[in-house]
Chain A
Amino acid sequence: AQRVTQPEKLLSVFKGAPVELKCNYSYSGSPELFWYVQYSRQRLQLLLRHISRESIKGFTADLNKGETSFHLKKPFAQEEDSAMYYCALRGAALIFGTGTRLQVFP
C-alpha cells in the first residue's frame, strides 16, 4: 500500500532561519516523489520532484530510500515561503500527505 506521512501540521520560523519539512513514505516499489505547494488563494502547484534533483526557490529535497524519507529543506526562509506544503508519491496513483503549513515571520 502507498502512504505518505507528514508529521507536522504547522511549522513556524522567523525569516532567515533554516526550514525542514518532514515527509516519510511507504511504497514497495520505486516511487516518484514530489513536493507541491499551495500559496494563499492559489491552486496547488508543483514545487519540485526527486528525479530532477533541482533546487527551486532555494528549496531542495533528497530522497533517502533507507529511511523512506523525502524531507524538504531551505537554509534561509523568506516571508514569501509561507504556504501549505504537500508531499506526494506516485506509485500506482498520485497520493498526498496531510500537508504542513509553513509560517515565516518577519
Chain B
Amino acid sequence: EAGVVQSPRYKIIEKKQPVAFWCNPISGHNTLYWYRQNLGQGPELLIRYENEEAVDDSQLPKDRFSAERLKGVDSTLKIQPAELGDSAVYLCASSFSGTGLTEAFFGQGTRLTVV
C-alpha cells in the first residue's frame, strides 16, 4: 500500500500567486488532517476533517486558505494569494477514528517556497 500520497512534492511560486496541494489518504480512513510545518518547528494543525465535514478549522487562515474534501476521500488545500511567510512544508495525515488504534499516518509532504 502506498500510504498517504501527496502531490506535488515541491512547489516554487511567486508571491501573490495561487497554489494548491493534493492529498489522497489511506483507503478507509475517515479522518484527514492538514498540517503546516515551518523549519525547526513541529507540525501545526490547519484543519481536520471527519469524512467530508471540516470539524476543526480554527487554525486555518481563512482570508487566504481554503480546503475541501469532496466525497470524504481526497482533499485539496489552496492558498490564494500566497505570501512569503507561507513558505513551509504542508503535511497531510489520515487516521481511522473508531474504536481501537487511531494512529495517524503521514504523507511525504509538499515543500512550498514562495519567492
Contact = CB atoms under 8 A, between A and B. Distances in A.
A77 B95 CA distance: 30
Nearest to A99: B42
Contacts of B108: 43
Contacts of B105: 45-46
Nearest to B108: A43
Interface stretch (A55-63, A66-74, A86-94): A86-94
B103 A46 contact: yes
B43 A86 contact: yes
A43 B109 contact: yes
A94 B50 CA distance: 13
Nearest to A49: B103
A90 B96 CA distance: 13
User: What size tier do the contact residues of chain B reach?
Assistant: 20 to 34
B45 interface: yes
B100 to A, nearest CB: 10
Nearest to B107: A43
Contacts of A93: 33, 45, 48, 56
B106 interface: yes
A39 to B, nearest CB: 13
14 contacts: A9-B40, A43-B3, A44-B91, A44-B106, A46-B103, A52-B101, A93-B33, A93-B56, A94-B48, A94-B104, A96-B35, A96-B42, A96-B44, A99-B41
Interface of B: 3, 33, 35, 40-45, 48, 56, 91, 93, 95, 101-109
Interface of A: 4, 6, 9, 32, 34, 43-46, 49, 52, 86, 90, 92-99
